[in-house]
Structure 1
Amino acid sequence: MAATVTVAIPVYKRLTYVAQAIRSVADQDYPAIELIVSDNGCNGDAVLNLVREYYPRPFVFRQNPTSVPIVPHFNQLLAAASGDYFVLLSDDDELAPGYLTAMVAALESHTGAAAAISRVEVLDEQNRVVASTADRPLPPRVMRGPDWIRRWGHNQHKFVCFTTNLARTADLRAVGGYPDFDGGNGVDNALLVVLSIDRSIVYCDEAVFRHRIYDTSFGKSVGVSSLARASRQFLAFLHQHPVLRAYARQHPHEWAVCRDAITRVIWTTYYGRWRQLYRGRERYIDWLKAGFALPFIPAYYRRALPEMLYSLPAVGTLARRRLPAR
């Protein structure tokens, strides 16, 4: 008898792609699926009606009477899951056909692995694939926790994101579920780190997760202050979570390398969005202040300080005048 997989779809206010997310679960050939759809946006009967229309099997529907923050909502879904395995699927993302079958087979064939991750395809608003894990060298089939963390930290592969993967429900609960970072930024990364640091993960290229990115999607719509707070919380998490503290005591050198790799992901993510996304959104003075929002990370400030300096009108004008003379 096949192990049950809980696929949990948290819904807030955006309903544009919910039907596609639900249909992608309905199209799975895996025989034992528990679908939980949770309305956290006070949408009346709209979400329930979408599930009834697009999902032909039994399902679980839950609705919060008032909205809760995103991380408590994720953890509500983890608490509600009755499946052996757990998959979180955002309300604008999709699972390609065969995803669950391939992922369960991959994880069950490597019993020491903590989770299975898949190929990721990035979709735009018109359902076009605009990027993929396959754009870079593919990861090995099995990676020790510290190995994938180093590969991720040094951008050796195009993992894209870890929002949706497959892990054992009991393991996710045992490490405390999703950590409560501001706005949910980075919580999927942090959870996978804790889950796998002293184990391994499986990369399943036969399974495809379709992650949608557009101007109002979660990653692009988050404010700079929220991302800064979450980045600081993630940095603190690396020193505070009991699983990571225990690993650091047992493997101090290996943990130092992993911590540096994760720190690099945190600051490069913040720097890239601060430099490009927020430069045009924020008032200039607020943008400058946001440049100092991270604690002292030498590599970050070696990049951010020149950016701030040359953004000053007088300095920027002088630099532009000198460039043609070189």
Structure 2
Amino acid sequence: MLVDVMMPFYGDFTQFRQAVLSVLYQTHRNFRITIVDDCHPDDAPRRWAESLADERVVYLRNETNLGVNANFRRCVELVTADYFVVMGCDDAMGPGYLARVVELAATYPRAAVIAPGVQIIDDTGAVVRPLGDRIKRRLAPREAVVLSGQDLAVSLLHGNWTYFPSLLWRTESVREVGESGFREGLDVVLDLALLLDLTVAGGALVYDPRVVFSYRRHAASVSSVLAVDGDRFTEESDFFAAEARRYAALGWPRAERAAKLHLTSRLHHALARLRAVRHR
């Protein structure tokens, strides 16, 4: 099975190299990695990627800086394989990541999304367990499971326990909700929005707790930066209000209630305010 690994790039060069190499070291060899450079000021990443001389590595550079949402949308529009991953340029695949998610995709060929187990690493690559991620783990299913419909929507609305860069997406399912899948205008909840759009369209999510992916958590991430000035929570508040109206129209009362409450978002907001007060 050919997998398109799409990597929107604008970040740390060292972590970028580690991310690319983690893809090249996969035991599943049938993949293509496309790096979409969003006008990074340094030309070194391009020169390094081209020096690999690996036909599976494609390096593209946007003519202008598109920003997070538009660059993610461009990545999805470039996909031609039946399955794809939109991987962070600072994350790392375990050597067996692609082999495992491809195996699950073959076992559940109609599933829209495959969500594997994930560990959290910091800027140095050390495994850490921040409070927010401990909460996400509590919200995630305890064992391997296939979720769909209102049950999946409620689970994700209570708290998005998935890790976007680790997800394997079925291209046909994503195309059914839009050419690029992602809604315009979202930076923080764009992955949750796509998951819920797929859920409403009848898609299923396969969760496997086996850890095969490392997600990097650091202060420079988009979600962390937006949390400082509150833009994250404005986006989330508007998003959940719209979702509540959608589920009311669908006749999904549990999902409507979960969207109205969005407890983990409120908790995150409260903690961010406390940190801001503490650090003035």
Partner Cα separation in structure 2 for residue 207 and residue 181 of structure 1: 32
Query: What SS class does the counterpart of residue 16 from structure 1 fall into?
Result: helix
Map 1:4-153 to 2 at 5 A: 4-53=2-51, 56-131=54-129, 136=138, 138-153=142-157
Asked if 1 retains the 8 angstrom alpha-carbon contact of 2:119 and 2:211, the reply is: no
Is the counterpart of residue 180 in structure 1 residue 177 in structure 2?
no
Amino acid at match of 1:114: A
Deviation per residue, 1:87-116 (Å, 9 max, x gap): 011111111111111112112211332111
Change in CA separation of 1:135 and 1:46 when aligned onto 2, cut-off 3 Å: same
Partner of residue 218, structure 1: 222
Taking every aligned residue pair, what percent have the same amino acid on both sides? 25
Match of 2:192 among 189, 193, 196: 189
Asked if 1 retains the 8 angstrom alpha-carbon contact of 2:233 and 2:265, the reply is: no
Change in CA separation of 1:218 and 1:281 when aligned onto 2, cut-off 3 Å: farther
User: Per-residue deviation at 1:256?
Assistant: 2.5
Question: How many residues in Structure 1 have an aligned counterpart in Structure 2?
Answer: 269
Who wins on radius of gyration, i.e. which is larger?
1
Q: Which has the higher contact order (CA 8 A, sep 6+)?
A: 2
Change in CA separation of 1:178 and 1:55 when aligned onto 2, cut-off 3 Å: farther
Match of 1:231 among 204, 216, 236: 236
User: Per-residue deviation at 1:48?
Assistant: 1.3
Amino acid at match of 1:274: A
Asked if 2 retains the 8 angstrom alpha-carbon contact of 1:78 and 1:173, the reply is: no
Which structure 2 segments of 5+ residues have no match?
none
Partner of residue 200, structure 1: 204
* RMSD over aligned Cα atoms: 2.8
Amino acid at match of 1:84: D
Which structure 1 segments of 5+ residues have no match?
283-326
Match of 2:253 among 230, 251, 256: 256
Partner Cα separation in structure 2 for residue 55 and residue 277 of structure 1: 46
Partner Cα separation in structure 2 for residue 209 and residue 181 of structure 1: 28
Map 1:286-305 to 2 at 5 A: none
Partner of residue 316, structure 1: none
Partner Cα separation in structure 2 for residue 94 and residue 149 of structure 1: 28
Amino acid at match of 1:24: S
Amino acid at match of 1:209: F
Q: Taking structure 2 as the reference length, what is the TM-score of the superposition? A: 0.84
Deviation per residue, 1:54-83 (Å, 9 max, x gap): 574422211012211210100101111111
